[in-house]
Amino acid sequence: MHNPTDSTPARLPYSVRRTTAVAILRPDGREGQLLLHGSGRDLGTHGDGSPVQFDTVHSAVEIDFIGGRTVMSADAGQAGPDLTALVGVRAGSGFRSALAAALPNGAREHSLLHRVLDDVPVATVISGYALTREDPAVTAVPVPRTSALPRADYCAGFATGGVFIGGIETNGTAPVVIGPPAPDLVRGPDPLAWHHLDALPAKGMRRLRRIDVRREGDLVVDAMFRDSYVDEHCVETVVHEYHLDLTVRADTLEIVRAVATPRVLPWPECSGAVVAVDRLIGRTVLDVAPLVVGEFRGVGSCTHLNDLLRSVADVAELPMKLAALH
């Protein structure tokens, strides 16, 4: 599945756009610390097209990736809250619970900062992709038989008999996929389409998110994410990209329409997970995260799609900003 989006849609009158990004960097090389630089912005558009900036955030999280994926430092800038409670927490299972305790208001209200920091676990996981691409002569990454192999049937992409698991079972190596060139979503005719983002260095990665909400009787939601990698020649390619379109009742936040569109996925089996999105119909946006965590598992699921679905909880906050535009 190599069909990346080639542009960002225009901002519409009386809409709110949330954009976030996490730059995934190893400035000291593959043996050094993993740095996650997060940023985000909530921008409204009035009826005449003029913008109003509601919020901006920045964060920096340093992770000892080699030594257990442990958070070494976490900072949200001078105007942000104290994040020292996250130090020592593993940037994986348990991190989001620790985040909820460190940012109880942000977690409950689905704040912009919470959305950026919520991406720490998945950014840590996908950072491993850069390690498989650092040496252009390496076409497959050895998987020692003594190590924990990826679990078959954990998700659609890891289905038994599929390309990924089959490659490991047959060759003892994990296949490495190289995605399509990444069209520039950030630099276009509208300088406000995204918040300011620095160019990625060679061997860097980034997760981009965008969620647009407008009201047409119901709430119309257009959400997407993209993971990308910049190689040693400074060519950016897409690793994962999904889009999600929702229609949500404005009064109850009940989802009445949900369509997921895979744009770039690494394995042929991955796109089989999109049918799971039908299970969102009739649920509220606040029901989605616990539903996904509790039930979206196995070969009928995709961890990256699940992560996009969890983010729709932010829709509960954005209508308050929509109201300010009228």
Does any domain span residue 45?
yes
Above 50 in pLDDT, residue 147?
A: no
- Predicted confidence band of residue 208 (pLDDT cuts 50, 70, 90): very high
Does any domain span residue 184?
yes
Does any domain span residue 121?
yes
Above 90 in pLDDT, residue 124?
A: yes
- Specify whether the CB–CB gap between 204 and 126 falls below 8 A: no
Number of domains in the chain: 1
Does any domain span residue 116?
yes
The whole-number pLDDT of residue 141 equals 41
pLDDT tens digits, one per residue of 219-237:
999 999 999 999 989 999 9
Q: Which segments within the chain are labelled E, that is strand?
A: 15-25, 34-45, 51-64, 70-75, 140-142, 173-175, 205-216, 218-230, 236-248, 255-264
Domain containing 120 equals 15-139+176-323
DSSP symbol at 198: P
Structure tokens at 16: 């709110």
The whole-number pLDDT of residue 195 equals 97
Q: What is the mean pLDDT of residues 259-287?
A: 87
Q: Whole-model pTM above 0.75?
A: yes
The whole-number pLDDT of residue 133 equals 78
Does any domain span residue 148?
no
Name the residue with higher pLDDT: 183 or 31.
Answer: 183
Structure tokens at 87: 């130090």
Q: What's the burial of 282, exposed, middle or buried (CB within 10 Å: 0-12/13-18/19+)?
A: exposed
**Terminal C-alpha separation, the chain:** 41
- Specify whether the CB–CB gap between 221 and 311 falls below 8 A: no
126 closest CA partner among 201, 56, 225: 225
The whole-number pLDDT of residue 142 equals 42
Does any domain span residue 319?
yes
3-state secondary structure of 96: helix
- Predicted confidence band of residue 154 (pLDDT cuts 50, 70, 90): low
pLDDT tens digits, one per residue of 62-106:
999 988 899 999 999 887 889 999 999 999 888 999 998 888 776
Does any domain span residue 258?
yes
- Predicted confidence band of residue 58 (pLDDT cuts 50, 70, 90): very high
The whole-number pLDDT of residue 263 equals 93
Does any domain span residue 51?
yes
